[in-house]
Amino acid sequence: MVLPDYLTIPARVDSGGLACLLGETGMVLRRGERPVSPLAGWMRDGAIPARARALLESDAHFRDITGLIGVLAEPDAFGEYRAAWVLARASGGLASVVVRDAQGCSAAQLQDDVRFARIQAKRYCARRAAVLLQSPEIGERAPGADLFVRAFGRDGVEPDRLYDAAENDGVGLSYAWLSAGPPA
């Protein structure tokens, strides 16, 4: 097909930002009308989302945590990112933090996140790593309810509570099931 076969609407600079083409329909959504990624809050100028900050700061190693570098990873077919990695500074030193969206997550991906968090911690000489599974809903049927049993061998993981795993190669690891509710 040729471009004239599609309905196109030019973006107007004065209309609140550039528009984005949706597939081949010619329909556009401005930035404010697009759905927000569940991990978007992790990429805002070093700010750790309030609920995650409160959870991480419950451990002395993560007090005064601030993001330094943030990278979104693993885009799906729709361009939504399923994971994010953040190198953070805290009062206990540098920390490597991996956050994963619980939707469609498997135990193998969670274990890969643990390995990745530790590898990045060693690369940046960080003494701590954290893996957070971020879920919009919490409960027995919520995605992530049984992932911690398969990934860490730990049953009864409660939402919004930080757990410690065995230290490996001098890097301590914490993990949590982070709910998407209002800040704690």
**Contact between residue 179 and residue 161 where contact means Cβ atoms under 8 Å apart:** no
CA torsion through residues 58, 59, 63, 69, sign: negative
**Residue 24 belongs to a domain:** no
**Residue 155 belongs to a domain:** yes
Interatomic CA distance for residues 128 and 172, integer angstroms: 5
How many structural domains are present in the chain? 1
**Residue 30 belongs to a domain:** no
**Contact between residue 87 and residue 94 where contact means Cβ atoms under 8 Å apart:** yes
**Residue 8 belongs to a domain:** no
* pLDDT classification of 5: cutoffs 50, 70, 90: very low
pLDDT given at position 146:
74
Interatomic CA distance for residues 150 and 154, integer angstroms: 8
Which residues is 168 bridged to in the sheet?
171
Write the pLDDT tens digit of every residue in 6-35: 444 454 444 455 555 555 566 666 766 666
**Residue 98 belongs to a domain:** yes
Q: What is the domain extent for residue 146?
A: 37-178
Q: How many CA atoms lie within 13 A of 27 on its CB side?
A: 6
Read off the tokens for 81: 């990112």
Interatomic CA distance for residues 54 and 48, integer angstroms: 9
**Residue 151 belongs to a domain:** yes
